[in-house]
Structure 1
């Protein structure tokens, strides 16, 4: 009877069944296969890939770099024909000098207007002195007329001279007011001249910026990607010319939300790099994404449907790479890696 129950076929079926159950328990990390080691192959090396574009239009006259070449900060990458922008700068400088000359002329006009005011004031003083003299002469003739010794023609002449002196005073005072108004006009108009000078100075600075933008330099040390611009090509503002990739890299590991329990900032991480023959590198958790990857998708999913199926979402984990490793310099953005985090490990404060 026991021989029938434990026949070879029965044993094989039991063994296959137990193996299947064991694989399921292992895949779902259920007892006795629970582990504090969380692993994901949904992880990639990332870096600051800077795409360079011109801010001005023109023909490319110089491309002194090649594909994948290492460059240093400030190194010339692309040069655009600058003859038009040199002339625009000269034109802006000429306009600025013209506006400055107009402003200087305004100051000279102010000096002249002040001199005219002084001359007009002197004319008023002279006219008032003549008026006083004419008044005294008229009074003498009136006194002579009362005593009977005066001559009618002399009295009439003195009266006329008095009226003439009064008119001269009024004319001199009017001319003085005209001179003062001319000074006010000059001072008021100076505001527009000063604004014109400021605008011309801004135009010069803009022309200098445009001229400087005809040369595109490396913003940081690194390597260039494939150079897409060619000698003689006409480019416009926003045209993608090439990309500069600095040496600073890190890893983004997209863990399932069910794997995050126990993960903390500072915990050590083991990184296996596919492109380096699965060579192991060390790192540590730097920070967690503020939302799951689905929240950043262009087309967001709508789970408010009748046939809803729960799917574990993934959360990005940024991992810094320890710098004291020889293989770290061989990492390039976009490489695939496998990341392992021991959630039982204590965080490292560095």
Structure 2
């Protein structure tokens, strides 16, 4: 062992290289090259503009219809279940309609009664001119009798003054003339009352017409309430979230189920604000659906007017002085292009990836030459 150690010492002393000095250096060079390439790629991604804008913060959305009654009542029938495909107008739920039927019958009876009352009022209006004419004829008759009574009164007064006639005859002539004058005044008052009665009857007729219009409105409302007992599907779609059963008592606005129109789905893609520099409405979008590993085509519908933070329950307030600059995301709405059979596989809430083909559009330049918002939906 001592001899071997002496030989190793002699080799070192003689200048022979150690095994560690002969270790290859190409792994270090390769690592440097890979690191340099990585840095170049990262810098290129950051600083070199690209015509394709990608995000995985995107999902499928749809404006679904919530089915709710407009009146209260007990559910008597349900014609659908979850995941059923229904056309617009199909009856989904039926409420017990006996109360509403009774209200319709009552409104119809009131309408018939008030219609008869209006006919009676109109008949009285039509009859009143004849009564007025009758009163005027009585006045004319009394006036004719007064002509004779006046002449007799003058005649008997002259005879009584000359002694040719008795005072009793003169007094009877005066009394008869006074009675006719009173009868004439009464006839004139009756004629005036008959004319005023015509105005009263006309007012009563107008009131009866107003009552009749109210009856029509009440009947229409009763018929509407009766129609509300049958709840149809407002749009074509698929039933979801059914939450009621036959026999349940529900009130106005209670959500019974939802109808999801799957042919009207769209994509909400939350892009960083700095990624929208070249995005314009109408640009083509490639939509990758994670669930089925398929690609679909879409179109940018428009750039939203505000970021999601604006509508948050507690919006940011940078005026307090505690300001931290954060890149915001804007929910870009993307419409799925029609005529794609695979689009029927989409469901609301699916996660997708979207890539917008911007073509490096000059958004700023277009806005300078336009008097409208070029990023809004045309």
Q: TM-score, normalised by structure 2?
A: 0.84
Could you tell me which residue of structure 2 aligns to residue 319 of structure 1? Answer: 334
Could you tell me which residue of structure 2 aligns to residue 125 of structure 1? Answer: 140
Q: What residue ranges of structure 2 are gaps of 5+ in the alignment? A: 1-20, 363-377
Aligned mate of 2:268, from 240, 252, 270: 252
Aligned positions of 1:148-297 closer than 5 A: 148-246=163-261, 247-277=263-293, 279-297=294-312
Contact 2:278 2:361 in 1 (8 A): no
The alpha carbon displacement at 1:240 in A equals 0.3
Secondary structure of the equivalent of 1:333? Answer: coil
Q: Deviations over 1:101-131 (max 9, x none)?
A: 2222211222343332222222211111111
Q: Distance in 1 between matches of 2:267 and 2:62?
A: 9
Q: Deviations over 1:2-51 (max 9, x none)?
A: x899835743653464355246436x5234xx422110111112222111
Q: Distance in 2 between matches of 1:306 and 1:182?
A: 81
Contact 1:63 1:79 in 2 (8 A): yes
Which segments of structure 1 move beyond 4 Å, counting only runs of 4 or more?
Answer: 3-6, 145-148
Which stretch shows the higher mean deviation, 300-309 or 334-343? 300-309
Q: Distance in 2 between matches of 1:336 and 1:9?
A: 42
Matched residues, number: 343
Contact 2:152 2:173 in 1 (8 A): yes
Contact 1:49 1:244 in 2 (8 A): yes
Secondary structure of the equivalent of 1:29? Answer: helix
The alpha carbon displacement at 1:159 in A equals 1.5
The alignment status of 1:30 with 2:43, answered yes or no, reads no
The alpha carbon displacement at 1:85 in A equals 0.6
The alignment status of 1:302 with 2:317, answered yes or no, reads yes
Contact 1:100 1:197 in 2 (8 A): yes
Which stretch shows the higher mean deviation, 157-166 or 11-20? 11-20
Q: Distance in 2 between matches of 1:51 and 1:35?
A: 42
Q: Distance in 2 between matches of 1:84 and 1:342?
A: 60
Could you tell me which residue of structure 2 aligns to residue 332 of structure 1? Answer: 347
Q: What residue ranges of structure 1 are gaps of 5+ in the alignment? A: none
Q: Distance in 2 between matches of 1:330 and 1:203?
A: 48
The alpha carbon displacement at 1:147 in A equals 5.5
Contact 1:60 1:231 in 2 (8 A): yes
Contact 1:113 1:179 in 2 (8 A): yes
Q: Distance in 1 between matches of 2:124 and 2:251?
A: 47
Contact 1:268 1:345 in 2 (8 A): no
Which stretch shows the higher mean deviation, 309-318 or 106-115? 106-115
Contact 1:64 1:77 in 2 (8 A): yes
The change in CA–CA distance for 1:169 and 1:336 in structure 2 (over 3 A counts) is: same
Secondary structure of the equivalent of 1:276? Answer: coil
The alignment status of 1:139 with 2:154, answered yes or no, reads yes
Contact 2:91 2:232 in 1 (8 A): yes
The alpha carbon displacement at 1:74 in A equals 0.7
Q: Distance in 2 between matches of 1:167 and 1:324?
A: 97
Contact 2:50 2:360 in 1 (8 A): no
Contact 2:84 2:238 in 1 (8 A): yes
The alpha carbon displacement at 1:141 in A equals 2.2
Q: TM-score, normalised by structure 1?
A: 0.90
The alignment status of 1:11 with 2:26, answered yes or no, reads no
